[in-house]
Amino acid sequence: MINITFPDGNVKQFEPPTTGFAVAASISEGFARNCVAMEINGALVDLSTPIKNDAAVSFLTTKDADAVEILRHSAAHVMAQAIVNLYPNAKLTIGPTVENGFYYDIDMEPISEDDFPKIEAEIKKIIKAKIPIVRREVSKEDALEFYKDEPYKLEMIQALDDGTISFYSQGEFTDLCRGPHVPNTGYVKAIKLMKVSGAYWRADPANPQLQRIYGTAFFDKKELNAYLNFLEEARKRDHRKIGAALDLFSFHDEAPGMAFFHPNGMEIWNALLAYWREEHRAAGYVETKTPIILNRSLWETSGHWENYRENMYTVVIDDTESAIKPMNCPGGMLLYKQRRHSYKDLPLRAAEVGLVHRHELSGVLSGLFRVRAFHQDDAHIFMTPDQIKDEILGVLRLVDRMYKTFGLGFHLELSTRPKKSIGSDAQWESATSGLSQALDAYGMDYKINEGDGAFYGPKIDIHIKDAIGRTWQCGTIQLDMSLPERFDLSYVGADNDRHRPVMIHRVIFGSIERFLGILIEHFAGKFPLWMAPVQVVILPINDDLSPFAEELHRAFEDAGLRSSVDDRTESLKKKIREAQLNQIPLIITAGEKERDSKTLSVRTLDGKVRFGVSVDAFIKSAQENIRARKLELDMLGD
């Protein structure tokens, strides 16, 4: 008999060899039906794996997040089998899982999404058959013989070490794979093909172009439908579409990956920066500005010339090689060195909204989310070692205030020392301890990413969550033990000796362009009043009322409200509809009644209309809403 120990500490005995199926069934048949894979002594394996000796066993069920990845890996095999059935000349390469799904790269005739129904019909046949998915291990020699007519699999096997190689078969279909997989194809109940694109084998343009077919899979059709609805909502919120519809920004071939901001976009941009400056002044920051072009010697000192040059734009000025800055940090080091510092000057919080340029490949450019020219809301905080905890706490509190203003939740992750790093053990211990102590004092749960820090220091990454639940990594707080050393930064301590300052890099918005793109999608273009490009539009119902509309416009502008007059010869109904489509928060109808009574008819985007509102009350309410930067439009106390 062998002893199987369960996660709760209970032990059961079984005749050897046994399998995960048998062990799970001993708990209950219902439990066994929901099991997908198991861990034996911490190793993730198929349920059919023989258990021959005493072992600690735990199960992954359809409710576990890791089980979904196993399902999607199996779904990739099911899709590949369907494609090989329909396209016998297809040659398979790799089919990994990715975030929210999977893909398979296949050398085959070009297909489009019009072919998906045919492929999905074949997939359904394979799922309905509930074909067992069986693992077997073969020698490398046998694997090479099996795949002698499959050039991509052959290349992959040749690159593997000698020894056994695992295959997975489902009926007549076999694929090279480590596993594990679900027990049979019937587990893949909810699957959907999403898109197809081109991809080069090994990402090398010299190699053949393959068809990359993406899909997703869930254990439950309701989960699949919820995901598809989520994608539809995300498509509606696409910042590129909304940006064009609201006339915020554009891109042009004359400057690939570099956004052109229109007047409406600049209104939002300026509102964001005004808020950023207000919060930073209150938090004790000074604002600086450094040049865009700096010569090669600076980038050699910082290490960028050696490690980052392929992403930098360079230029020769007065026979000296220079670079357009990809980041603001080295310029900030020069500013710190401009004068002598005492420990009494610290902490020194220097912020900069700096324009940086990075050469991104054209294939990864994506609206405002991935650009070649962008503004970073950097800050460099120089401090003594005993100030680390308080300064990190100060940044976290600033982050909390600023993100809450936009209705954004967030979570925190602490990344520790990687294998390749600089600095002594004592420096890393002190820096990591300072970050973790600050996080503990802040009181929010955080995740630890072991070994995922920057080579020059540990960091805190701040991941925001938008209105539809997507997460975005924007803010970061990094302790740097490299640049103060490279630039020989110092301060005079209380002992009158020179000491090396501790330095924090931090951003909150990150890239302002990217953050704006996130906000466009977060608000779906329906910005809070304080951010809206046009806050008030006045609609005179005929030409005779245009003077009254202009009078209101001047009053609103004098009060600091961004307003406009729509006096086109269109129907009032059409102008109201267009104002709503343009997401203008406050729509004023100017009729004879309003002119004579000196009142307003105010329509808001929630469909409510308020009549007889005095001009003074309207202005005061709008100003208070803007001053408080409220998320909701609570006009006139509603």
CB 463 within 8 A of CB 508: no
For the packed helices 263-282 and 388-405, what is the interaxial angle rounded to 10 degrees? 140
CB 48 within 8 A of CB 20: yes
Angle CA 102–105–108, to nearest 5: 135
In 10 A of CB 288, how many CB atoms? Answer: 18
Six-digit token string for 521: 């999608």
Compute the distance between CA of residue 64 and CA of residue 73 in angstroms, rounded to an integer.
Answer: 15
Give yes or no for a cis peptide into 208 (omega within 30° of 0): no
The region, left, alpha or beta by phi > 0 then psi within -120 to 50, assigned to residue 49 is beta
DSSP secondary structure string, 157-206?
HHTSPSSEEEEEEETTEEEE------SBGGG--EEEEEEEEEEEGGG-TT
Measured distance CA(561)–CA(540) in Å, rounded: 18
Distance CA 266, CA 87 (A): 52
Catalytic positions, written as ranges: 329, 358, 376, 378, 380, 459, 505
Using CA atoms, how far apart are residues 230 and 80, in angstroms rounded to an integer?
Answer: 26
In degrees, rounded to 5, the angle at the alpha carbon of residue 629 between the alpha carbons of residues 625 and 634 is: 35
| Cβ-contact 177, 167 below 8 angstroms | yes
Please spell the DSSP secondary structure of 358-421, one letter per residue.
----GGG-BTTTB-SEEEEEEEEEEE-GGGHHHHHHHHHHHHHHHHHHTT-EEEEEEE---SS-
